[in-house]
Structure 1
Amino acid sequence: MQAMVLAARGGPLVLEKRPDPRPAAGEICLRVEACGVCRTDLHIVDGELPDIRLPVVPGHEIVGIVEALGPGVTSHRLGQRVGVPWLGHTCGACPYCSTHRENLCDRPVFTGHSRDGGFATHAVADAAYAFALDGFHDPIAAAPLLCAGLIGWRSLKLAGDGRRIGLYGFGAAAHIITQVCRWQGRDVYAFTRPGDAAAQAHALSLGARWAGSSSDPPPEFLDAAILFAPVGALVPAALRAVRKGGRVVCGGIHMSDIPAFPYRLLWEERQVLSVANLTRQDAVEFLSVAPAAGVITTTKVYPLAAANQALSDLRAGRFQGAAVLVP
């Protein structure tokens, strides 16, 4: 097999040839068809997340075909298309796992972080944390659903049932969740980097009611706002934009420091919430919602060996939607 490997914080990834992996008990081995490139991968390469196992193969939006079953696996079949997300394993015994909050597990394993991920031709995954994609016929289109879609879905659930939803940072997650919001009958207000006319046009083309700069106030108060951009300064900006009792949901795994802001912005029962990881139930829900909502992902495809270029382009915002590596 071949894999793009991160050996040290700061990168770059290096293409390596390795022996083909073999699944252990409870695991499956996939031939990777596509793997999305997520902003979390940037945080891993930059060393902004704790407890990264080095060397590591990044990538946690994996779509592949099952080529081998480890002992005891009956949940999947050879030749089946499956998806592997960020949450790669949980302990099943801590107070969080035992109360249906496995996203907060005390001893989690994360794909492409604490175990090798999908920037490779093959990957091994815990069968209990891999999801059947029998109805998804395009692996490239499906890959961004495995994190951008799942985290976007969990963020939207935490945002509540309000009609007017603001999305700060119009990238992979926002372009998926905009389509879900429109299917649900909600109005989307898209906030982009100042001057990013292409992203604003993309948002409007997907049905956003309004699109503008993150430095601009929306034309009316929002019921909730979701921050996908890892910029702490957007938290007080979003608090200014939401109505009394509104919510601001921080959807990223890493964010720059939130600056001090006057209590008046939080008063009147506004809330600031964070999203941590996902649960398997989130995946079950969203993988039924996405086709029902007619979600169509916008993707830019790169060959596996161009993973560093994909990460660079993501950092600079050089494309709309999501980047996807194809071995």
Structure 2
Amino acid sequence: MTDANVDLPATMRAWVVPAPGRIEQVELPVPRPAEDELLVRVRACGVCRTDLHVRDGDLPPHRSPVVPGHEAVGEVVAAGSRAHGPGPGIRLGVPWLRRTCGRCRYCLRGQENLCPSSEYTGWDADGGYAEYVTVPAAYTYELPSGYSDEELAPLLCAGIIGYRALRRADLPPGGRLGIYGFGGSAHLTAQVAIAQGAVVHVLTRSPAARALALDLGAASANDAYDRPPEPLDAAILFAPVGELVPVALESLDAGGTLSIAGIYLTDIPSLDYERHLFRERTVRSVTANTREDGREFLAAAAEHRISATVTPYPFDRADAALDDLAADRVNGVAVLTMPH
């Protein structure tokens, strides 16, 4: 193992999910990177709705207890013997997608997000709600300059997943896009779509989120169950609410596509073929992302100066951040800030 000439402590503070519905702060050994991994000192970590699903048991952790968090920004402090990537002291991003096999038919045809052996940060392996995290060097991101750590963190999942959802929505140039739910991922995706010339209509239950949408340039902002002011060429469902699927489908114009962005969704009611699907309306799911999605999005974010509306929380208040997210008290995105 090589390092950045720093003295690593023996232990670190971290938050773990010991059982569904709970998160607690503990002291853990500082991890050591495997031969293809980097050890990163975390400077900020986004609080994603997926973390909430992991805490609440909607997405049971693949290891227990697990340190959640997959939107970590930090600096390299040590590297495994075969790790190729950013050197000591370099700022980088630790994202959701942690590892794929590189050999299956999905990986070989550019769909590594569908790899059956894929692993995820904060679900299969300990994540960024900690002072240190290990990550395979090949799955990190170089980060654009001109952003603070707190501004960058939400781009690493909320931004990247939203970007893939936008691509999956097949929005034509200058098209009319409906966005259902307006949290972390949605408010970043709206900025990308508007920068690309789309007319964006936001539909969400939160008055504060509706105000933010208009501030960011949305053409309209209404309640999630309202009909948008014009038919939509495409829609993206960010809210994990299955009963909004038929609502969004009814708002699509002929040939429109609904892209469902979440990893978790409550039950979808039965659909009426003529009302919801006829005239070649399409429903598409979104599964994680590829590394290329991430590189493309981060380049687009830098080009268009896409930025998150951040609500910062001290590291010691990760539990409060998740509670506020669950209660829709976060405007934009919550980000944990580290003391060092």
Secondary structure at the aligned position of 1:96 is classed as helix
Determine the C-alpha separation between the residues in 2 that align with 1:243 and 1:84. Answer: 38
- Give unmatched runs, 5+ long, in structure 1: none
1:206 aligns with: 216
The 5 A counterparts of 1:38-187 are: 38-50=48-60, 52-133=62-143, 135-162=145-172, 163-187=175-199
Partner of residue 330, structure 2: 319
Superposed CA RMSD in Å reads: 1.0
Asked whether the 8 Å contact 1:37–1:323 carries over to 2, the reply is yes
**TM-score where L is the length of structure 1:** 0.97
Counterpart of 2:33, as a letter, is P
What is the one-letter code of the residue matched to 1:80?
Answer: I
- Which residue of the partner structure matches residue 20 of structure 2? 9
Give the superposition deviation at 1:137.
3.8
Contact 1:80/1:134, CA 8 A, preserved across alignment: no
Structure 1 SS opposite 2:135: strand
Say if 1:250 and 1:72 are closer, same or farther in 2 by CA, change over 3 A: same
Q: How far off its partner does 1:161 sit?
A: 3.0
| 8 Å CA contact retained: 1:136, 1:142 | no
AA aligned opposite 2:196: Q
For this pair of structures, how many residues does the alignment match?
324
* d(CA) in 2 for partners of 1:79, 1:114: 26
For residues 79 and 244 of structure 1, the distance between their equivalents in structure 2, rounded to whole angstroms, comes to: 52
SS in 1 for 2:29: coil
1:256 is aligned to 2:252: no
- Unmatched runs of 5 consecutive residues or more in structure 2: 1-11
Deviation, 1:51, is 5.5
Determine the C-alpha separation between the residues in 1 that align with 2:32 and 2:144. Answer: 23
Q: Select the residue among 293, 301, 321 that pairs with 1:290.
A: 301
Match of 1:270 among 274, 281, 300: 281
Q: Which residue of 2 aligns with 1:189?
A: 201
1:246 to 241, 253, 256: 256
Displacement after TM superposition at 1:147 (Å): 0.5
Shift of 1:50: 4.9
Checking the alignment, whether the CA contact within 8 Å between 1:44 and 1:52 is kept in structure 2 is: no
Following TM superposition, by how much is the alpha carbon of 1:263 offset from its aligned partner in structure 2, in angstroms? 0.5
Task: Report % sequence identity.
Answer: 49
TM-score (ref. length: structure 2): 0.93
Is the CA contact 2:255–2:280 (under 8 Å) kept in the aligned structure 1? Answer: yes
1:20 is displaced (CA, Å) by: 1.6
Question: How far is 1:74 from its partner?
Answer: 2.5
Deviations 1:19-48 (A, max 9, x none): 221111110001100000000011111111
Code of the aligned partner of 1:94: C
